[in-house]
Amino acid sequence: MNDTKTKRTVYLTQCRDYGASLDTAISAGLSAFGGISSLIRKGQKVLIKPNMLTDRSPEEAVTTHPEVVRCLIRKVREAGATPIIADSPSNAVKLERVWEKTGFRRLCDEENIALLNLELAGSTQVDMNGMSFNISKTVLEADFIINVPKVKTHVLTSMTAAVKNMYGTVPGFMKTNLHKSYPTSKEFGKLIATIYEKTKPGLNVADGIYAMEGNGPSGGTRVDLGIIAVSTDAIAMDIVLCRAMGIEPASVTYLKHLCQPSLSTVEQQIEVIPNSWQTLGIRPVRQPSTNVLNLIPGWFARLVRPLIWIRPAIDNKCVKCYQCIKACPAKALIRQNDNKPLLVPDNCIGCCCCHEVCPAKAIEMVHSPLVRMLTGKRKPYDSAKVPR
């Protein structure tokens, strides 16, 4: 085993539902790090940051399940600290609707806890690593952050979990401009890594009981992984979750920026307790085919840039809510009368924002002919049935 000083511990355990076994799993995970009282102090203001991406029910596996957050609220209070909950969903969806649909309004009413709107709290500009972005003042002023991500595949970053969840500390309407400023997968990965470095949470509790596979983070399919992960190290947690899901960590662009001197060196430092991901018997999830773009060498991508792209295709499931038009930072989708949105290909930057907010799963991200030829894929992702 590695020297104690270099260990990066991740607690990984089975948890099949959001009932009584949930508290047992989280309590055991916290005990591995000395208990909640060893992490936070009496009187501190503790920000609990779930994933409230959009207005979906907890059973759809798009957002963090409120029962995971309920468990953490009570543990924070037991330690004598004050919990608050906040996140910044997509700017294309009304926040009040997100709170209601995800179950967080009801949770906060029942627990008598503040549910904050990061859009109204104001933000601070951060210039770091050659990038510029804004972070909510609520986040920067918190004494301690508990990051509670949902475990999902992601069409732009391959996977979203602990590190990517901190992107929600950027006020929603500002995310649009960031996608436009950092449009490529590599640039966006560096942005995610930099935001994480600025907002680094003290504790991460990943909800992988209901997870998502395929075209996540909102258009995929629920898969019951039945796991809870706990760690003070979000980077190590994400690497372990990648391995558990059958995702190559090198395809997750933000991990490349965060793992120094190399991803393999960091991975060798990780200790997984009490169960290795191999012993949990998790079958590999269906991945978005878009992750192959993250594995194409940069020199080759630059050489044939006009021939390597990913763009939305809107099918007849479209309900004409036009949230995709509101979410598009490049004005690549336009409305024509009452028809489904029309794509202006030359404007598209492939950020996948439209796919992320579509409530009807009517948008699939399709590859250019060259990418399909290189990968042998004819569909946005391999939809072959995988035995469960």
Q: What secondary structure does DSSP assign to 19-44, as a single string?
A: SHHHHHHHHHHHHTTT-GGGTS-TT-
pLDDT attached to residue 269: 97
What is the distance between the alpha carbons of residues 359 and 364, in angstroms, rounded to a whole number? 12
Which two tokens mark 62? 């798009």
User: What is 4-274's CATH topology?
Assistant: Rossmann fold (3.40.50)
* Phi, psi for residue 244 in degrees, rounded to 5: -65, -35
The ranges of the chain with pLDDT < 50 are 1-5, 378-388
Q: Answer for the pair 329, 180: CB distance below 8 angstroms, yes or no.
A: yes
Taking the domains of the chain in order of start, what are their residue ranges?
A: 4-274, 289-375
CA distances from 22 to 78, 201, 217 (A): 17, 21, 23
Q: Answer for the pair 380, 326: CB distance below 8 angstroms, yes or no.
A: no
Burial of 56 (0-12, 13-18, 19+ CB in 10 A): middle
pLDDT attached to residue 90: 75
What distance, in Å, lies between the first and last C-alpha atoms of the chain? 33
pLDDT attached to residue 186: 83
pLDDT attached to residue 297: 58
Q: What is the pLDDT of residues 235-280, one digit of tens each?
A: 999 999 999 999 999 989 899 899 989 999 999 999 999 989 899 9
Which two tokens mark 25? 């799993």
| Tokens 């120094």, located at residue | 260
pLDDT attached to residue 43: 98
pLDDT attached to residue 93: 75
pLDDT attached to residue 1: 34
Q: What is the pLDDT of residues 292-331, one digit of tens each?
A: 555 555 555 555 556 767 889 999 999 999 999 999 988 9
pTM of the full structure: 0.90
What is the distance between the alpha carbons of residues 61 and 136, in angstroms, rounded to a whole number? 26
CATH of 289-375, one of 1.25.40.10, 3.30.70.20, 3.20.20.150, 3.40.309.10: 3.30.70.20
Give Cα 43 distance to the centre of its chain: 30
Average pLDDT over all residues of the chain: 89
Which two tokens mark 253? 């662009």
DSSP state, 326?
H
